[in-house]
Structure 1
Amino acid sequence: MASIIRTRSFVLLLSSAALLIIYLAFERYFWRVAPVVSALSGGAAGVGFQPSRNPRRPPHIVFILADDYGFNDIGYRNPAMRTPNLDYLAAEGIKLDNYYVQPICTPSRAQLMSGKYQIHTGLQHSIIWPPQPNCLPLDLPTLPQKLKEAGYATHMAGKWHLGFYKKECWPTNRGFDSFLGILLGKGDHFLHTEEGGGGPYPSTWPWEGLDFRDGLQSTNAYSGIYSTHVIAERVENIIEKHDKDKPLFLYVSFQAVHTPLQVPESYLQPFESSIQDEKRRIYAGMTYCMDEAVGNITKKLKKQGLWDDTVLVFSSDNGGNIDQGASNWPLRGSKTTLWEGGVRAVGFVTSPLLSERMKGTVSRELIDISDWYPTLIEGVAGWTLSGTKLDGYNIWETLRSGKPSARVELLHNIDPLITPPSTWPNDSIAAAHNSFSTRTYAALRYKDWKIVTGYQSINNGWYSPAESSEQSVASEILPGKSVWLFNITRDPREFHDLSNQEPAIVNFLLERLESYQSGASPVLYPDIDTKANPAGHGGIWDSWE
């Protein structure tokens, strides 16, 4: 009898120990996964994104960034552009109709990677030019670094343009497990070389070198292969080899449709009769090729069984360059400007996890490219950003259920290094306000209102695409004019300047600009360094510190 009691006691002890182990394991698993499930389920079934198909991990994330892609250059806005894959994905998801980026490359990419306005990263002036010893500040945790903390595999293919003067600035040292692409802002799409010209360069310095990297290593293995094809093929290979039980973050940063205007001849054929303008025709071919690449990537996701558990975001990095074949019609302005044509972007979100209620909808909530940082980290990945000071908003509930975004204000930029000519008179409105000089190049959106200040020197009109019968409209800036006010909701084309009629609103928005300016970081825009010359690095653009 005693023996039986001892045996039963031993069994009970083992059972208790086993239960304790199971409990501890479950508790550890629950606290790791519960935030993800909560963020994805949102309580009500059938509303917004559904929980991940795989409860062991958050969804995969694919972020596709097009370069210099015009507002009017996607098929669902302009049938002259052939983008069947992008059109289909957008129709299955949420089109973002009130979505903003920066007017040039580096600032947009910095906001995506950091969740901060460029006035808080020091990158509020121009771009990072190849010979400048500058990069996205190294003390800022990047989007892929935070997603790695959440357990993601992180891969990038395409254009970086966030600095490379020392290797600590490079993508694989900023959170990406792998990188294939260019470090600079542009380059030959076939040869993958780039000339060092423009910006702060003396025009007499014809620097040129190879700019293509696989990880930290320079490579010319892709010479002669079109950049869009190289990027798409690398992404497809990553998808094919990926363990679908591990969450995947893919940053697909196409070099298209940035200059130089180059594309394989076969992509020009659909536009030979419909688009006579050569630049516009090549641009359309580049867009068509990029669309095909996006289609191939989504097909591979489906083939490998990842698509049903993927959230895909598509965005442009800035408005299209109207001097190089792009169109932002009917919006005002172009790339580099603070008009809507420079900052209002093509953007959409799509996913099989999206509920039927949200599919095929158009969101008119105010959204900025900096919002993707907290949205993807907290909303999709379920990872905490507690204590992190950001300018971006987590818009997960806006995407999940159509809830109004918390964002009511958006700073387009304040650039103190762009100033009017000394002969430019003072604006009469500026004389009445001392809080913020309207000679400062800046723009801010608050609810329906947008204020633009400073010297607007180029591309101030409305430019119709070459294939359109509509006429472009020029805009002459009167001497001394340096402040504009628009009701963007009613007047998205920025035709009607209300700055004289609404002095109280002008004053309020100038005070908001002053508040932002008082908290801005110093501008990081160093002089060029001759040690960057590729001639000193075997004909390769490389780090030099």
Structure 2
Amino acid sequence: MSATNGSGTHGRQAAYAGFAGTVGRTFSQSRPAWPEERRAGPDSPNIVVILVDDLGYADIGPFGSEIETPNLDRLAAGGVVATNYHTTPLCSPSRAALLTGVNPHKVGFAFPANSDPGYPAYAFELPEHVPTLAESLRATGYATYMVGKWHLTGDRSQHDAADRSSWPLQRGFDRYFGSLEGFTSLHAPHRLVWDNSPFQVEEFADDFYLTDELTTRAEQMIKGLRAADADKPFLLYFAHHAVHGPIQARPDDIAHYADRYRAGWAELRRQRFERQLELGIVAPGTTLPDSDPDVPSWDALGVDEQDRFARYMATYAGAVGAIDRSVGRLIDLLAATGDLDNTIIVFTSDNGGTAEGGVDGTRSYFSQFAHVAGLPGDWDRDVDRDLELIGGPQTTVHYPRGWGEVSNTPFRLFKGDTYAGGIRAPLVVHWPAGRLGVSRAGHPEDRLRHHYVHVTDLTPTLLELAGVAPLAQRLGRPAEPFDGVSAATILRSPDAQVVHQAQYSETAGNRSYQTEQWKIVTAHRFGAPFDDTEWRLYDLTADPTETTDLAGRHPAVVAELAAAWERVAWTNRVFPLDDHGPASALRRPTDDRFAEPVTILPGTPSLERFRSAQLVQHRDATIIVEFALRAGDGGVLLAHGDQGGGYLLAVDTDDRGEPVATVLVNAYGVVHRSAPLLLGLGEQRLVVRLRAHPRFRLDVELSDGHSSVVLTGLPQLLGMAPFTGISVGRDAGGPVDWERSRRHGSHPFSGQLHLVRYEPGPLTPDAPAERARVWAEGAKIYD
């Protein structure tokens, strides 16, 4: 909205211009520009970038999905649908490239921000001399807001004492609400951040759902801006946590799709492909590749498996439907504020759909996600759960590989691969005032763009459309030039020429290089030598789904593209290649402080996930709890984790009215409770000892110095479990103990808690970090 009379913004600018044109001439050359002279004008477009996590190419209506997305259909019908948009194969790299316009390895994000091998491409914080889209826009007067998943800060820098220079507010955003981590529970997020501080939630309401909460926060930001300034343009970067695992949805959204997927993945994939042909998303004559050999035949599955697998996909569809509903709420708000016509709305995904749920899917995502060398073959990657619980707050689920293949229709393979299934994503751009996708009479296909566009092109494109020049420097250093190229001409006209001529891709040794016609790609085998490369060659103009390898027919083309990949790999700091073997578990020596003993006092906010995990993972640990009891006292003394895995120590009252302590371990959804340990009244000192054994087993002992109770032979909590950090005096956030939470909520301890002290032991020999240290010591003989 913009005022046009003398009392509005235009009037103020006109009055100021008149003043500056007379008296102001005498001093204008000796003073800096006034803020009003630098600000973007009231006609500058707002920008809304909506990024979804792990959404496949075919998962929304405009790209052929049966999932109902009426709001995205509306944006597509009035905008541009880019059918040849490419990302990186993984989330953090795509986010870094999107916000900077620079290739991900060059800005320190070759991989998600959850390791630290020490290579330049794995710095996991954006370089000081690389401005973000938000920083360039804010410098001209835009308000800049973000909600959702950040994942551009290394996990070692997310705790309360961390340097916040890589957090959203320090990288160009005025306001932020979401999670710095790569994923979280949609029913009970493990750690939310509001601006620059943790946002503590003791208990989540039964109907809490993160997608809806993020939408509410985004609405509040826009409403607050418009109440204060009717004209100031804004950027909203809405980075959904959905539909990354664990996949979760509201019960009514799951129920809506209860019967939709019983036909199975092969049939749904065929149906999506037919709709893509009808919509013009894929060209006539395109071949639908054969199904992945690891995807079982639907008809060969038992009835129980079909029911469970259909429920997984119904959950996924429900989560996508909630995203579309969020888009609708934003559209309605922008219409109400008068901003819709002059708002550039971008909707896309950060990579292709994923196969990380495995062949059978899982109801225990953190067990499935435990990627640790030496994990025994009998490791249980699933837990038994009633069908109706799948997708709800008591499960952490992910859909099977077969549904991931449906998500990526018509392409091969998945997230993490440099084949099209990993790097092709939907892209919809809507801007009525910019007349994008306005069809000529009789030519509704004008809204389709089949030109190659890369994720690094988004920031240059949006800046050009907004009429904003990128920052020339940051912190006194010249800004890194864009690797992306503005696609504004492509969005404006279907007759434009391709502007992004060639692009490399790499993750975990998987590599590709493509031009408008040709693409070479290699699928790296973990542990294999990187120089043992078998490049495959595809003619994308005739074979966009990469079904026919032409390397044997065109060796000169392969050699030319392989040499080009090598050149740009050196330019972009891709080397050394890392397939996330031993080196990926290395941590900088200063991170050892996270495993030093710590005393946690009552009232301390919940500790951050990574900080908490270092105290107990892959090591023995002693936990000392000192407190005082009166008759009738009880509650949770400490809790670490949630429904995906964790442990808890609590005081209750037995049938005789006597106080007893019990320790509980939630082993990825399977709950183990100790026998009760009888307590007296008055001062108490309990000790919990965690003992890590070979083959990733765990014993837990609870003792008062005289008596003890023991749980033996449990699986260790590994990888991302426990996910929710340590809280003392209550079971805050997502509950470890569902039954206790159902009865008592977070169950605050009613006695007097003095302290909880963690005393970690040394790492076990099979700990990834210890194996990495031994590997690194052995590698020194080659120095």
- Is the Cα contact below 8 Å between 2:115 and 2:585 reproduced in 1? no
Distance of aligned partners of 1:252 and 1:531 in 2 relative to their CA distance in 1, 3 Å threshold:
farther
Q: Residue 292 of structure 1: SS of its match in structure 2?
A: helix
Letter in 2 for 1:169: S
Tell me if 1:237 matches 2:220.
yes
Aligned equivalent of 2:770: none
Tell me if 1:281 matches 2:314.
yes
Q: 1:188 aligns with which of 185, 189, 192?
A: 185
Aligned equivalent of 1:127: 112
Tell me if 1:293 matches 2:295.
no
Aligned equivalent of 2:409: 329
CA deviation vs aligned residue, 1:403-428 (integer Å, no higher than 9, x gap): 22321112222x5x63xxxxxxxxxx
Aligned equivalent of 2:608: 541
- CA drift of 1:539 comes to 3.4
- CA drift of 1:91 comes to 1.6
Distance of aligned partners of 1:251 and 1:381 in 2 relative to their CA distance in 1, 3 Å threshold:
farther
- CA drift of 1:395 comes to 1.4
- CA drift of 1:504 comes to 1.2
Tell me if 1:219 matches 2:227.
no
Tell me if 1:511 matches 2:496.
no
Q: 2:586 aligns with which of 510, 527, 531?
A: 527
Distance of aligned partners of 1:370 and 1:79 in 2 relative to their CA distance in 1, 3 Å threshold:
closer
What is the TM-score of this pair, normalised by structure 1? Answer: 0.75
- Is the Cα contact below 8 Å between 1:112 and 1:369 reproduced in 2? yes
Q: Residue 168 of structure 1: SS of its match in structure 2?
A: coil
Distance of aligned partners of 1:137 and 1:543 in 2 relative to their CA distance in 1, 3 Å threshold:
farther
Q: Residue 308 of structure 1: SS of its match in structure 2?
A: coil
Distance of aligned partners of 1:486 and 1:24 in 2 relative to their CA distance in 1, 3 Å threshold:
farther
Aligned equivalent of 2:424: 344
Aligned equivalent of 1:468: none
254-263 vs 512-521, which moves further: 512-521
Q: Residue 394 of structure 1: SS of its match in structure 2?
A: coil
Letter in 1 for 2:338: G
Distance of aligned partners of 1:385 and 1:266 in 2 relative to their CA distance in 1, 3 Å threshold:
same
Aligned equivalent of 2:22: 20
Tell me if 1:316 matches 2:349.
yes
- CA drift of 1:121 comes to 1.8
Q: Residue 434 of structure 2: SS of its match in structure 1?
A: coil
- CA drift of 1:456 comes to 5.0
Distance of aligned partners of 1:339 and 1:238 in 2 relative to their CA distance in 1, 3 Å threshold:
same
Letter in 2 for 1:300: L
- Select the structure that is richer in strand: 2
Aligned equivalent of 1:377: 463
% same residue: 29
Aligned equivalent of 2:522: 453
Tell me if 1:401 matches 2:387.
no
Letter in 2 for 1:107: P
- CA drift of 1:245 comes to 0.8
CA deviation vs aligned residue, 1:478-504 (integer Å, no higher than 9, x gap): xx7721110122111110000110111
Q: Residue 353 of structure 1: SS of its match in structure 2?
A: helix
Tell me if 1:249 matches 2:235.
yes
Q: What is the rounded CA distance, in whole Å, between the counterparts of 2:248 and 2:20 in structure 1? A: 65
Q: What is the rounded CA distance, in whole Å, between the counterparts of 2:196 and 2:140 in structure 1? A: 24
Letter in 1 for 2:223: E
- Is the Cα contact below 8 Å between 2:137 and 2:468 reproduced in 1? no
Distance of aligned partners of 1:26 and 1:318 in 2 relative to their CA distance in 1, 3 Å threshold:
farther
Q: Residue 244 of structure 1: SS of its match in structure 2?
A: coil
Q: What is the rounded CA distance, in whole Å, between the counterparts of 1:393 and 1:227 in structure 2? A: 34
- CA drift of 1:532 comes to 5.3
Tell me if 1:162 matches 2:152.
yes
- CA drift of 1:401 comes to 3.3
Aligned equivalent of 1:39: none
Q: What is the rounded CA distance, in whole Å, between the counterparts of 2:21 and 2:481 in structure 1? A: 42
Aligned equivalent of 1:70: 56
Distance of aligned partners of 1:395 and 1:338 in 2 relative to their CA distance in 1, 3 Å threshold:
same
377-386 vs 317-326, which moves further: 377-386
- Is the Cα contact below 8 Å between 1:33 and 1:57 reproduced in 2? no
Distance of aligned partners of 1:344 and 1:32 in 2 relative to their CA distance in 1, 3 Å threshold:
farther
Q: What is the rounded CA distance, in whole Å, between the counterparts of 1:352 and 1:154 in structure 2? A: 21
Q: 2:554 aligns with which of 502, 507, 513?
A: 502
Aligned equivalent of 1:492: 544
Q: What is the rounded CA distance, in whole Å, between the counterparts of 1:18 and 1:342 in structure 2? A: 55
- CA drift of 1:337 comes to 0.7
- CA drift of 1:453 comes to 2.5
Larger radius of gyration: 2
Q: Residue 76 of structure 1: SS of its match in structure 2?
A: helix
- Is the Cα contact below 8 Å between 2:62 and 2:73 reproduced in 1? yes
- Is the Cα contact below 8 Å between 2:511 and 2:522 reproduced in 1? yes
Distance of aligned partners of 1:91 and 1:107 in 2 relative to their CA distance in 1, 3 Å threshold:
same
Q: What is the rounded CA distance, in whole Å, between the counterparts of 2:53 and 2:343 in structure 1? A: 23
Aligned equivalent of 1:145: 135
- Is the Cα contact below 8 Å between 2:42 and 2:233 reproduced in 1? no
Distance of aligned partners of 1:365 and 1:494 in 2 relative to their CA distance in 1, 3 Å threshold:
same
Aligned equivalent of 2:372: none
Distance of aligned partners of 1:219 and 1:59 in 2 relative to their CA distance in 1, 3 Å threshold:
same
Letter in 2 for 1:237: Q
- Is the Cα contact below 8 Å between 1:411 and 1:443 reproduced in 2? yes
Q: What is the rounded CA distance, in whole Å, between the counterparts of 1:269 and 1:308 in structure 2? A: 35
Letter in 2 for 1:220: Q
Letter in 1 for 2:524: Y
Aligned equivalent of 1:411: 504
Q: What is the rounded CA distance, in whole Å, between the counterparts of 1:24 and 1:109 in structure 2? A: 47
Letter in 2 for 1:226: Y
CA deviation vs aligned residue, 1:440-485 (integer Å, no higher than 9, x gap): x311111111111352569xxxxxxxxxxxxxxxxxxxxx772111
The equivalences for 1:50-65 within 5 A come to: 56-65=42-51
CA deviation vs aligned residue, 1:60-96 (integer Å, no higher than 9, x gap): 0000000000111111333421111111111211001
Distance of aligned partners of 1:84 and 1:534 in 2 relative to their CA distance in 1, 3 Å threshold:
farther
287-296 vs 482-491, which moves further: 482-491
- CA drift of 1:220 comes to 3.2
Aligned equivalent of 1:429: none
- CA drift of 1:526 comes to 7.4
Q: Residue 321 of structure 2: SS of its match in structure 1?
A: helix
- CA drift of 1:120 comes to 1.2
Distance of aligned partners of 1:490 and 1:92 in 2 relative to their CA distance in 1, 3 Å threshold:
same
Tell me if 1:110 matches 2:96.
yes
Distance of aligned partners of 1:26 and 1:191 in 2 relative to their CA distance in 1, 3 Å threshold:
same
Q: What is the rounded CA distance, in whole Å, between the counterparts of 2:347 and 2:27 in structure 1? A: 38
Tell me if 1:367 matches 2:352.
no
Tell me if 1:175 matches 2:172.
yes
Aligned equivalent of 2:87: 101
- CA drift of 1:267 comes to 0.6
Q: Residue 106 of structure 1: SS of its match in structure 2?
A: helix
Distance of aligned partners of 1:134 and 1:535 in 2 relative to their CA distance in 1, 3 Å threshold:
farther
Distance of aligned partners of 1:334 and 1:533 in 2 relative to their CA distance in 1, 3 Å threshold:
farther
- Is the Cα contact below 8 Å between 1:121 and 1:136 reproduced in 2? yes
